[in-house]
Structure 1
Amino acid sequence: MEPRPLAVVTGASTGIGFEFAKLCATRGYDLVIAADEPEIAQAAEAIRSEDARVWEIETDLSTMAGVAALYDLLRRLARPVDILIANAGRGLGSDFLDQDFSQIRRVIDTNITGTVYLTQLIGRDMRSRGIGGILLVGSIAGFITGSFQAVYHGTKAFIYNYSTALADELQGTGVTVTCLMPGATETEFFRRAGMLDTEASRARKADPAEVARDGFEALMEGRREIVSGWQNKLLALVSHVTPASILAWRNRQFSAPDKRM
């Protein structure tokens, strides 16, 4: 029997990443899933009920060693990666000057350094085989001046530009790169980012399963980018013609702690 294709999903213990992993399983993929928390083991058990083979690894993808540990697992499996869904990410709210720099560094290293390193390792393998699909999870935050989320928004602007550039570089190789840009989604993001005391945490949010479906279909179609949700599509369009100062003011209404409003 032919082995099922293999998908790698990072940040797969909860939220959008978990929904991506479940979707891959139902679409005929075996999985390697990774996260930096022990809940990844429970996620793996839940996904195995979809008849997929699942290998999980608890590893910190903000570190070079953590990324290397995931890649070493893939090498031991000796199976080609058909799709990579790089979903691992981290946010951080509140006043930039009051944030602990170790937390700032972890946001940058998770959202940028770890993502870039893993994409390069797996992307090289895909290019050598002449086939593969990479999905990078960005955010519409990458289009918006992010008061009280300055570092997070900056990392998502990087992901969008990096993804579109990589997609262009890989033209004609058989490897596609897709950037998924959701808006606020019903996940653990706001709690983990220390933003429960913000309007953003109380606002209506997207269903992570719907976000994952949008991203997966775009990946399968080889699209370079996809904004999930019609309201987010409108916001992305408006952001391109709105002065940064106005975007910053509007984001302040959502992201500033209640004590600052």
Structure 2
Amino acid sequence: MTDPTPLETVRPLAVVTGASSGIGYELARLLAEDGYDLVIAADRPLAEAVQGLEAAGSRVRAVQGDLATEEGVQALYTEIDNRPVDVLAANAGQGLGQGFLDQSFDDILHVINTNISGTVRLAQLVGRDMRERDGGRILFTGSIAGLMPGSFQAVYNASKAFVDSFSFALRNELKDTGVIVTCLMPGVTDTDFFERAGLMDTEVGQGEHKMDPAKVAKIGYEALKRGDGDVVAGFKNKMQAAMAAVTPQSVLAEQHRKMAEPGGAER
């Protein structure tokens, strides 16, 4: 009599980046509650997240590393250990406030390499495995920020425009396979994003009307399970996205300036 299949290969596996807090943690929690084992990653300590996710019923492996680097992405991919990935939630992202000419170029590159290069590299590694077995789901955390010029967040908004566009294109490329691609497009969400991006002295950073990350994650997760191509989280954000489609770029840039210009919260 042969040994039964090891228990760890029976449960579906999800990989979630940017999972230490915010939307990423809430996505991981929803997956844990749905019976997924997890491989989570972030550039900050993950012990607290692991504890919460294990309490939700998941078996969790954690990788603390910089997904802006090839080494960080490869370390995460190695931790998957050849298990089939049923869900990839590519959520890791980095913001950056202030005027473009006043920013450190190292900081600029870190935003580009986190939001674009690392995201694309991980999606290719995991996506190829999914295509080979003709199954899997990928959720990208884009943003409605990608629909408008981001004055005083120029690199961040441009990076999210890339993620939004890339997600739509990849979905089309994979439409005749069993791999589903969904783009979650949040607006302003109540996470530590604004503090890490140096936006706390701005109108958007100090604004009180931020969405609950748990609600944003649930909207994205349900869209992924339905197989939707994209979803904008929240009615107000849906209206903003619709307006962005018909508003001149110069007007959108000026509107964004009022939200993100340093010192704007004091005016």
TM-score (norm 1): 0.97
The aligned residue for residue 87 of structure 1 is 91
Q: For residue 186 of structure 1, what is the amino acid of its counterpart?
A: D
Say which of 144, 150, 155 aligns to 1:151. 155
Structure 1 residues 207-241: Cα deviation after superposition (integer angstroms, max 9, x where no partner): 00000000000111111100000110011010010
The aligned residue for residue 64 of structure 1 is 70
- Residue 42 of structure 1, CA deviation: 1.4
SS at match of 2:188: coil
- Residue 140 of structure 1, CA deviation: 0.2
Task: Kindly indicate whether residue 212 of structure 2 is the aligned counterpart of residue 212 of structure 1.
Answer: no
Task: Kindly indicate whether residue 181 of structure 2 is the aligned counterpart of residue 174 of structure 1.
Answer: no
Aligned residue runs from structure 1 range 92-111, under 5 A: 92-111=96-115
The aligned residue for residue 237 of structure 1 is 242
Aligned residue runs from structure 1 range 1-261, under 5 A: 3-38=10-45, 40-75=46-81, 78-203=82-207, 204-258=209-263
Q: Distance in 2 between matches of 1:16 and 1:74?
A: 21
- Residue 247 of structure 1, CA deviation: 0.4
Q: Distance in 2 between matches of 1:80 and 1:41?
A: 25
Structure 1 alignment gaps of length 5 or more: none
Structure 1 residues 118-158: Cα deviation after superposition (integer angstroms, max 9, x where no partner): 00000000000110000000000000111000000000000
SS at match of 1:164: helix
Q: Distance in 2 between matches of 1:105 and 1:51?
A: 37
Q: Distance in 2 between matches of 1:171 and 1:155?
A: 24
Q: For residue 212 of structure 1, what is the amino acid of its counterpart?
A: A
Q: Distance in 1 between matches of 2:76 and 2:35?
A: 22
Q: Distance in 2 between matches of 1:183 and 1:202?
A: 14
Q: Matched residues, percent identical?
A: 55
Structure 1 residues 15-58: Cα deviation after superposition (integer angstroms, max 9, x where no partner): 000101111111111111000111x1210111100121111110
Q: For residue 50 of structure 1, what is the amino acid of its counterpart?
A: A
Runs of 4+ in 1 over 6 A off after TM superposition: none
**What is the RMSD computed on CA atoms of the aligned residues?**
1.1
SS at match of 2:231: strand
